[in-house]
Structure 1
Amino acid sequence: MSIIQSLRTWRLPDRPSLIWLEIETSDGLTGLGETFRGGLTVETCLHEELAPWLIGRDARHIEGISRHLLTPYVGYNSSGAEVRSASAVDIALWDLAGQRQGVPIYEAMGGAARTGVPVYNTCAGYSYNTTGQRRDIGAADQAAGPYDDQVAFMRDAGTLAQSLLSEGYKAMKIWPFDIYVPASNGQLITLTDLDKGLEPFRKIREAVGNRIEVMCELHSLFGTHSAQRICQALEDYDVFWVEDPLCKMDDAAGLADLRRRTRVPICGSETLGGLRPFRDLLAADALDVVMLDLAWCGGFTEGRKIAALAQAYNKPLAPHDCTGPITLMAGLHMALHAPTAIYQEVVRATLATWYRDIVTGLPVIVDGMAQPPVGAGLGSRLKDSFKQSPEVITRLSGKGR
């Protein structure tokens, strides 16, 4: 038996978007989960709504727990707080499953489909998104360090591409159009602003040619007309994909129409929770690449079903992470296992800095390839130094050890 005895959460005041979850069981194991956005809200959901039902349950019943947590009466559409909470629980339960078997999660799910996973660098900074505030780069911004890649792609994307290639990265993702959204709420982009937004792509191709793949992120900020104009303009730069181009990424009809009007591949969407939105988008022929975030979509249990849908439609899969270290580790396990996975997202700024302060294990990247984790379960734990930090806010439900 592996009975759930307690749920314990950990938060950092200076990174309020993130929350970590530990589930302790009667067989002496501790499973680790994580989710992102509204950490305090998720904490309340975990302890007030989920813990009373979870404590006393058998942690081995992952599918049954997932179905219960993802299908109540109200509040569980897309990636709301309830689904983010359920995602953290599911990741922790799969971590426990791997530990019980003494194997990594990708092996517990049925084994690897590949020996390593190509990574691409999302060109963010050191604290991108974790403070709860957007960061849009302006002329006065200064780089916070050598890996403040969000400043770099707005200033000199060609030099940034050269830097990434020198470290073995063969793909990068940038979002130079975001700064033009406020003027019209994303409904209009002028030819002048369009040309400015294209400048980083020009610089990359001039500096390194086609030696690096480039993805364009649109962050679900644009209306159909502006998204179409951007996508069609990007056709000349051989972008690998345009990600989340429309302001409603569950709009199957709108995405399918956009996809018919442009030659650039459409990728989506980290923002979606559960199986059904992906089913609808794939059935509408609205996507070229399926992106999922295990900390938002329902965890491994729902994520492996989304991966199976991608396989059924012969679409590549690309797990998302621009959030936290455990989501990254979880995505890597999924990318190793899922037959059509092509990339795992990483942020070199966070990999080199604060991710290392939180957890014991992170992906090992060799020549642009993430190597398989070797430890049981996720292969990563919260560091004792992190847990003992006076800044950390912790909360316990049940009888913790």
Structure 2
Amino acid sequence: MKITGISTVVVNAIHRNWIFVKVQTDQPGLHGWGEATLEWKTRAVTGAVEDLAQFVVGEDPRRIEHLFAKMTKFSFWPLGAIGLSAVSAIDQALWDIKAKDLGVPVWQLLGGRVRDHVRVYTHLRRARIGAQVGTGDISAFCDAVQETVEMGYNAVKLGFVPYCAYEAPLRDVLHVEKLAQAVRERVGPDVAIMTDFHGRPANADTAKAFIDVIAPIRPLFIEEPIQPGNAAAMAALARRVDCPLATGERLFTPREFAELAELGAVAHIQPDLSHCGGLTGGRRIAAIAEAGQMGIAPHNPMGPVAGSVALHFDVATPNFVIQEEAVGLVPWFDEIFSHPMRLVDGAWEVPEAPGYGIEIDEKAAACHPFEPEVIPALEAVLPDGTIAHW
């Protein structure tokens, strides 16, 4: 079997363009899908996919480790977010091909099923574009949280913390305290709550001020309380607060996750399988996390291929905790895809179809072509005009 070509399919999803990568083979009807979605970097990533194709076209797609090595080692320069997103999607597609060739779901190739369902969490109102509610009106925010839970979820991730930098204004801290307590009172103890700081605090003291008032509601974790990349600072913060921390969506290599494990910096890591080397990279990172006694909660606010890949990874990963999903992001999420993500009692069912069990209607996908994204990060400006972390 040989790889005959690699192509991309771009589908606009308002705040991002989904980048789907199709790896074709010389076997009639046998191809694989991956996803390389990277917000506001669409043209760079599709170009990187084209550049990497020369390393794999003509090769046997079943030699996954071999091809992963070719793409990462022959590139010479560190690939970074753009290059590794391209590698990740190609890698994902290779696993899809191999599993289809063998007639088994991808999770069988990853060591087999270790759980009977995959717990998931969503965002406020399933992150539906145009349906979000600000944190200023606590009652309206709690109504939206309750509405989200009633959609069938027992876990939700929310944004409590405003744009900030090197200080946590007392007015903001007190508002976050009231908001967090109101949400917990509304949903009760049986709904897991997570909150994403998005790395907005510019130092540990600012982060700690907000964490301390959220900790009493016992969140499952607080995500990116400070900017990623400084494992020592994260570890020092973890020792100062009474709340599990998580990070990892903007980390890419096993070495970066190994630093977190070595320092005991977080309770949970959140690699994104569309950025960290696909399933090949993700498996290495999961093993590091398990050795470091860290749970794994993969990042995924993207399209259906990324979600399907994460589902198979979660089924076979022993230290998996919970999966982020974005199935309700845009109205056309289900229009152009057949996919295995089926929500039952707050969890996805284990898929049984060969490969990832996903297919894309490319003619229907063409109805939502590339467009420049609406970029919410442009809002991240402090009152004095300083640019803040989104």
With normalisation by structure 1, the TM-score equals 0.85
Find the aligned partners of 1:153 and 1:365 in 2 and give their Cα distance. Answer: 27
Is contact 2:302–2:326 with CA below 8 Å preserved after alignment? no
3-state SS of the aligned residue for 1:278? helix
Q: Say if 1:361 and 1:380, in contact at 8 Å, map to a contact too.
A: yes
Shift of 1:384: 4.1
Structure 1 residue identity aligned to 2:101: R
2:6 aligns with: 7
> How far is the alpha carbon of 1:348 from its aligned partner?
5.0
Q: Which residue of 2 aligns with 1:140?
A: none
Q: What is the deviation of 1:371?
A: 0.3
Is 1:198 aligned with 2:143? Answer: no
Q: Which aligned pairs between 1:294-313 and structure 2 lie closer than 5 A? A: 294-313=273-292
Deviation at 1:86, TM superposition (A): 0.3
Aligned partners of 2:199 and 2:225 also within 8 Å: yes
The equivalent of 1:82 in structure 2 is: 83
Question: Deviation of residue 126 (structure 1)?
Answer: 2.5
Q: CA deviation at 1:388?
A: 4.8
Q: In the TM superposition, what is the alpha-carbon distance from 1:39 to its structure 2 partner?
A: 1.4
Aligned to 1:131: none
Q: Which runs of 5+ in 2 are unaligned?
A: 372-390
The answer for the alignment partner of 1:375 in structure 2 is 353
Q: Measure the CA separation in 2 of the matches of 1:267 and 1:330.
A: 21
CA separation in 1, counterparts of 2:213 and 2:312?
A: 35
- Structure 1 position 334 matched with structure 2 position 313: yes
- For 2:163, the equivalent position in structure 1 comes to 180
Question: How many percent identity over aligned positions?
Answer: 26
How far apart, CA to CA, are the structure 1 residues paired with 2:336 and 2:90? 19
Contact 2:327 2:333 in 1 (8 A): no
CA–CA separation in structure 2 for the residues paired with 1:337 and 1:114? 7
Cα separation, 1, equivalents of 2:250 and 2:233: 16
Pick aligned residue for 2:127 from 125, 128, 131? 125
Q: 1:380 to 1:14 in 2, by over 3 A?
A: closer
Cα deviation 1:110-130 (Å, max 9, x = unaligned): 211101011111225324xxx
Alignment of 1:221-232 (within 5 A): 221-223=200-202, 224-232=204-212
Distance in 2 separating the partners of 1:26 and 1:206: 58
- Counterpart secondary structure, 2:22: strand
In the other structure, the counterpart of 1:40 is 43
Alignment correspondent of 2:112: 111
Matched, 1:100 2:101: yes
Over residues 280-311 of structure 1, what are the superposed CA-to-partner deviations in whole Å (9 max), with x where a residue is unaligned?
11101101012111001110001011111122
C-alpha contact (below 8 Å) 2:134/2:141 kept by paired residues: yes
3-state DSSP class of the match of 1:7? strand
5+ unaligned residues in a row in structure 1: which ranges? 128-143, 394-401
Residues 168, 366 of structure 1: 8 Å contact kept: yes
Whole-Å Cα distance in 2 between the matches of residues 99 and 8 of structure 1? 19
The CA distance in 1 between the partners of 2:277 and 2:286, in whole Å, is: 13
Runs of 4+ residues over 6 Å off in structure 1: none
Displacement of 1:232 after TM fit?
1.8
